[in-house]
Amino acid sequence: MNARRTTLPAAAAGLLLLLAACGDPGSGGGTADPTSGGDASGTVCEPVAGDQLVVLEDDQGLQNADNVIPAVNAAAAEADPNLLPLLDSVSAALDTDKLIQLNKAVDIDRQTSSEAAQQFVEAEGLAAEDASVGAGKSVVIGAANFSESATLSEIYAGVLRSAGYTAEVQTIGNRETYLPALQSGQITLTPEYAATLAEFLNTSANGADAEPVASGDPDETVAALTELGAGADLVFGEVSAAQDQNAFAVTSEFAEEYDVATLSELADACGGGVVLAGPAECPERPFCQIGLEETYGITVSEFASYDFGLIGDAVRQGEASIGLVLSSDGSLAS
């Protein structure tokens, strides 16, 4: 995650995703006993140091689809048919590369979320064509307490203000705090993450042992989310292409040396094993080492445990071949 958040780790959505996937961040720098996840014959892909990280494509859908999606109080959306289309314009403009750039602007370049949001709205031409549709209407946008959520909330606010709304952004806290406020109408809308919210609503409605409803398919995940939202007084706008979810990164130099762009290609190229950096719980988590081994047949010849915020630097410095990151980390910007 590196410079992804103002504190490490401070992202509510990212932290919940990490907890679901790999447990609490590891206490780092140590090295666990070597493990094997497949055919140990073949090339051992040693770490290659470099300045730039690149995410390997999750081409077999190991991770759930945590795409950014606007979540709206159902009564507010019903009362105002202009609300969702304005939010949908943001979803249409947003992808992971642009989300990375937004996070870089705030977390690394030290712009405020409102400054980065204003620039994004202007650059993408998102100002409403009709500046009067929201006249006399007020909305409150609830932001979770991490910078990405604040920036997305400010983008929603900027678009709504351009349509004549009075839009206020309030930092509400974590999902356990802001979701009841959204359901009650205390806040009108919030940026959300499809898979994480789907599973949150699923376990809330059906118990901690409920069969998972999220998957790596955004459409299927949003369909499940929409159904669960109907029972929780929530509706959703269009899902964006932007994802903030677990991902695995290598240096660009590593990718070039071993000619890999996907996790499947990594498995084929590195049959002798790789050094994996992750939180301490990664070897026991299905979306981390277990998933790499079982879904892709990747051989983890050595696991190195790090605090989550130090994993990217470990890969850059050549201490690990591949590391767990967040897909929208600002430090991934080229």
* DSSP states along 12-28: HHHHHHHHHHH-SPPP-
Q: By residue range, what is the domain housing residue 156?
A: 68-236
3-state secondary structure of 271: coil
How far, CA to CA in Å, does 122 sit from each of 41, 119, 127, 133? 53, 5, 7, 19
The structure tokens listed for 245 are: 């979810």
* Residues 213, 166 share a domain: yes
- Shared domain for 82 and 208, answered yes or no, is yes
Q: Write the CATH number for 311.
A: 3.40.190.120
What's the pTM value of the predicted model, to 2 decimals?
A: 0.86
Question: What is the SS3 assignment for 262?
Answer: strand
Claim to verify: residue 208 and residue 288 sit in the same structural domain? no
Longest dimension (CA), the chain: 69
Residues 77 and 47 placed together within one structural domain of the fold? no
263 and 296 Cβ atoms separated by less than 8 Å? yes
Closest CA to 63 of 21, 9, 99: 21
Amino acid at 85: P
Q: Which of 204, 236, 268 is the last residue of a domain?
A: 236
DSSP output for 123-144: HTT-S-S-TTTTTT-EEEEEEE
**72 and 220 both lie in a single domain:** yes
Say what the pLDDT of residue 107 is: 96
pLDDT (tens digit, 0 to 9) for every residue of the chain, 334 residues total?
Answer: 333 333 333 333 333 334 344 433 222 233 333 333 444 458 899 999 999 999 999 999 999 999 999 999 999 999 999 999 999 999 999 999 999 999 999 999 999 999 999 999 999 999 999 999 999 999 999 999 999 999 999 999 999 999 999 999 999 989 999 999 999 999 999 999 999 999 999 999 999 999 999 999 999 999 999 999 999 999 999 999 999 999 999 999 999 999 999 999 999 999 999 999 999 999 999 999 999 999 999 999 999 999 998 999 999 999 999 999 999 999 999 8
Q: Based on the fold, state whether residues 228 and 88 are members of the same structural domain.
A: yes
Give the 3-state DSSP-derived string for 159-224, with helices as H, strands as E and coil as C: HHHHCCCEEEEEEEECHHHHHHHHHHCCCCEEEEEHHHHHHHHHHHHHCCCCCCCCCCCHHHHHHH
CA distance 314 to 182: 39
* Rounded-to-integer distance, Cα 32 and Cα 122, Å: 48
Last residue of a domain, one of 182, 213, 236: 236
35 and 289 Cβ atoms separated by less than 8 Å: yes
Specify the CATH number for the domain of residue 169.
Answer: 3.10.105.10
Q: Which residues make beta-bridge pairs with 166? A: 138
Amino acid 38: pLDDT: 41
Residue 169 pairs in a beta bridge with 141
